[in-house]
Structure 1
C-alpha cells in the first residue's frame, strides 16, 4: 500500500490497528526469547559462566548507543513510495530472522570459540533488530496524531505483544526439548528457525496492512546541535525515558531471575515454564483492563496505579514465605496485571512527546525519539542482565547444582528486592511527566496553527 494523505485526527480502522499491533507479536517472539531464555541458554546449556553471560548482553550497549539514535534519524528522513518507516519492516525482516538463528547456530559451528561467536552474533542480531524495530515503533506517530487513537494503537499492540510473549514462554523450553530429542543445543537452534519463519510472515502482514499519513511533513535536515537542542527542550521525553530505564532494569532483573528463583530458590514443586506462562498470561489479562481504565484516568495515573500493584506483589514475595504453589502463582499473576499498566500507557505516552518537543523546539523528529527510546529499552535489558550475571557469580551460583543457603538467599534478594527499589524510583520520576490528554490536544492545535501561518508567509 502506497503512502497516502489522511486526516491526522481520523479514526483508524480496525484492520489498521490490528495490522500494526500484530507486528509486536513477531517482535516479542524474538524479544521474549532473547530476554527470558538467552542467559539461561548461555549458562545452563552452553556452560558459560554467569558473569560472562551477562557481559555478552552488556557489551552491545556501546554499539546500541550509536546505532539506535542514528537509525531513528535515518528512518525519519527516508522517503519512498511506501513511506518512511514501512520499507524497513519489509526489507529488514529476513536479515533479522537470519541473525536470530545465527545466535544459536554459531556456538555449534564454532565449538572452540563459543564466547567469541556468541558475542559477535549477539551484536549482529541487535543491529538487525534496531533496523526493523525502531521504524516499527515510530510508525505509530505517523499513523495518527490523535492521542486517544494512539492509546488504542498502544493497547492493541500490547495485547499482541503479551500474546507473543505468552506463546514464546509456553512453547520455548518444551519445543526445544522435543525438537532436539533431549539435546538442548540442537533444540534451541530448531526453535530459533521456527520462530524466525513465523516472525517474518507476521512482519510482512504488518507492512501490508498499515499506512503512513501524508499530512505530516518530513523532518528537516538539521545539524546534530539542533537535535541536541530538540532533546534538551523535550522535558517530557527525558522524564519518560529515565523512568523507563530504571523501571525496566528492575523488571528485567525480576523476569530473568525468576527462572533461577523457581528452579533453585523457591522450594516449590513448580516448573519454570508454568511460572513464566502465568506471569505473561496475567499481563495479557491486564492489558484490556488497563485500556478501559485509561479512558477515564490520565495516563501517568494509570502507570502509577499499576506500579503500585506490582510493587505490592513483589513486597509480598520478599517478606512472606509462600509454601503453596497456588499462592505463589496468585502473587505472580497480581504482579503481571500490575505490570500491564506500564505496557499500555508507555507506548501511548511516547508518541505524545513528539509533539511536545516539536512545540517547544520548533523541530520534529519522531525517528530520533523512538531511536532513543529503543536505546533506553536495550540499555535496561543489558544493564539488568549484566547486573544479574555479575551478582549470580558474586553469590556463588553454579548452574545445574544444588545451591548453598547463602546463594539461595542471594537469589531471593537479587530477584525481588532490587526490582522493588527500581520500581519505586521509576514511579517517583513518572509522577513528574507533564503531558495530559487535554494538553496534548492543545499542543497539536497550536502546532497546526503555527505551521499554517508559516505556509502563508
Structure 2
C-alpha cells in the first residue's frame, strides 16, 4: 500500500527523459555501491525526528502556550517568532560547521550523535509547564528551550540530510534511500499528531472542561483540568522524545558514512556573486514570492486551527480534526502529482489552490454545531497542504535549469538554502502575527470561553487572511515566466549541451547535475509543513 501511495515520489526523484536523453544501461552497477535493505530502512528512520517534532509544534504550540501555559498572546508571539527566526539563521551556520568537520568518526555522524540526545531533552521541556509566579520567567523558559531545541535539531538534521551523499556513489541507490526516508517522514507526521493529540485527550477525558458562568462571558478553567492537560502534554512529549532517540539511533548504528573524494578540477564558486545573481533572477523571485504567499495562507490556518475549532466552532476534540488534515494532506499528493504531469506544474498550482476557496467561505460563515461539515473543510485544508507541499518544490529545479542556460553558472545550494530559509521565516511571521492579533482582540489566556471579538478574529485568520495571501500568490504566479513548453525546451537544450564538444558547456551541465544530486536528498515534500 505504501509503495502505491508514495510511488509518485520515486518518479519525481528520477531523471526526466526526453527524445535526446541517452538510454541508461540496465546493468553495470558495482556490487559494492548497492545499499542493503537494512541500511535503507535505518537511513529512512532518521528522517522522523524533524517531521515528528516540528509538525506537532506547528499545530499545537499556540494553543499550548495560550491555554495550558497561560502566557499572554504578546509573549507567546515573541517565543514563536524568535524560535522560527533562530531556526532559519542557524541552518547556514550548522552547514558551515559540518563542511569544516573531518574526524576519524566521520564528517556528519559526530554532529548527529551530539544533536539528537540534546534535542530530545530540550523538546520535552518545551511542553513542560514550570511553577513560576512571573510571566517573564515563563517566557524566558520557553524562549530558551525552543531556540535551544531548534539549534540541536539542526545539528542533527542538517548532517542527516547530507548523509545520502555519503552512503553510496550510486545515484539510483541514493534515490531509493530517499524514498524510504520520505515514507518514514509521512508516517512521522501522522504519528506525531496522533501521539500528542490522543495523549492529551486521554488525560483530560475524565475531567470535563468546566462551563462558564451564565452571568459572565469568561471563566477560568479549574486547576484540576489544567493539571491533567499539562500532564497529557508532558507524557505526549516524552513519547515523542523516545521515538526521536530510537529513530536517530537506528541511523547512527545501522548506516555507514563513507568518505567521498573531491575532484581536483572542481571549480570554487563565489558565494556572494552567486547570491546576487540568484536573488535578482526573475523566475526565482516570482516563484519564491508566490510560494511564500501560498505558504502563509496554509501556515495561518495551521497555526490557528486548534483555537478556531475550540472557540469559534465550540468543538472540544480539536485533535481529531488536525489528524484529518494531516492524513488527507499526504493522501492527495499522488493525485496532484498525476495532474501536474499531465497538465503542467503552473496549472496544477492554480487549480489546486482554487479548490481552497470553498474552505475559506466555510470557515467564515459556518455556524457552530456542524461537525461533519467542518470535517469536510478539514479535507479541503488537507488539499491545501498537499498542493503547497508538492508543486512549488517541484518547480525549483525548472528555475535552476533556466538559470544555468541563461548564465552558465550553477548555484543550487544558494537556490535551495534561501528557499528553505524564507519558508521558515514566513511560517514564523504567520504564527507570531496571528498570536498578536488574538491578543489585540482581547484573548484571555486560560479562559474557558473567549469573547465574540476573539471568535471573529479566529474566523478572519482562517478565512480572509489566507484568502488575501492566496490572491497575492495568484498575481505573482501569473508573472512566472517558465511555461510547460519552456520547461521542456530547457531540458532539451541541457541535453544538447551535455553532448556538445564545447568543454565549458559540458562542465557546466555536469557540475549542475552533481550539485543537484547533492541537494536532492534535502528536497523532501514534507519539509514545508515542519516549519
CA contact (8 A) 2:298 2:384 kept: no
SS state at 1:295 partner: helix
CA contact (8 A) 2:84 2:427 kept: no
381, 390, 393: which is aligned to 1:335?
381
Deviation track 1:42-65 (CA, whole Å, cap 9, x = no partner) reads: 111111011210111112455445
Q: Which has the higher helix share?
A: 1
CA contact (8 A) 2:363 2:462 kept: no
Provide the residue aligned with 2:297 in structure 1. Answer: 250
SS state at 1:296 partner: helix
Provide the residue aligned with 1:3 in structure 2. Answer: none
CA contact (8 A) 2:119 2:149 kept: yes
SS state at 2:329 partner: helix
CA contact (8 A) 1:155 1:344 kept: no
Separation in 2 of the partners of 1:297 and 1:125? Answer: 42
For residues 40 and 323 of structure 1, do their structure 2 counterparts lie closer, same or farther at Cα, with a shift above 3 Å needed? closer
* 1:293 matches 2:339: yes
| TM-score normalised according to structure 1 size | 0.80
Cα displacement (A) at 1:153: 9.1
Provide the residue aligned with 2:77 in structure 1. Answer: 54
Structure 2: gaps (5+ residues)? 1-13, 16-23, 27-33, 205-224, 511-531
Provide the residue aligned with 1:168 in structure 2. Answer: 192
Deviation track 1:391-448 (CA, whole Å, cap 9, x = no partner) reads: 1011111133322223222221122210111122223323416275525634653368
For residues 231 and 406 of structure 1, do their structure 2 counterparts lie closer, same or farther at Cα, with a shift above 3 Å needed? same
* 1:416 matches 2:463: yes
Cα displacement (A) at 1:119: 0.9
* 1:378 matches 2:430: no
Separation in 1 of the partners of 2:383 and 2:127? Answer: 32
CA contact (8 A) 2:202 2:232 kept: yes
For residues 327 and 259 of structure 1, do their structure 2 counterparts lie closer, same or farther at Cα, with a shift above 3 Å needed? same
For residues 398 and 209 of structure 1, do their structure 2 counterparts lie closer, same or farther at Cα, with a shift above 3 Å needed? same
Provide the residue aligned with 1:121 in structure 2. Answer: 145
Provide the residue aligned with 1:259 in structure 2. Answer: 306
Superposition map of 1:280-429 within 5 A: 280-321=326-367, 323-351=369-397, 353-399=399-445, 400-429=447-476
Separation in 2 of the partners of 1:353 and 1:142? Answer: 27
* 1:438 matches 2:480: no
For residues 455 and 45 of structure 1, do their structure 2 counterparts lie closer, same or farther at Cα, with a shift above 3 Å needed? closer
SS state at 1:108 partner: coil
| TM-score normalised according to structure 2 size | 0.70
Provide the residue aligned with 2:229 in structure 1. Answer: 184
Structure 1: gaps (5+ residues)? 1-7
Cα displacement (A) at 1:381: 1.9
Superposition map of 1:84-233 within 5 A: 92-105=115-128, 108=130, 113-135=137-159, 160-176=184-200, 178=202, 182-205=227-250, 221-232=268-279
Cα displacement (A) at 1:85: 6.8
Deviation track 1:243-277 (CA, whole Å, cap 9, x = no partner) reads: 2322222212111211111111114x451012111
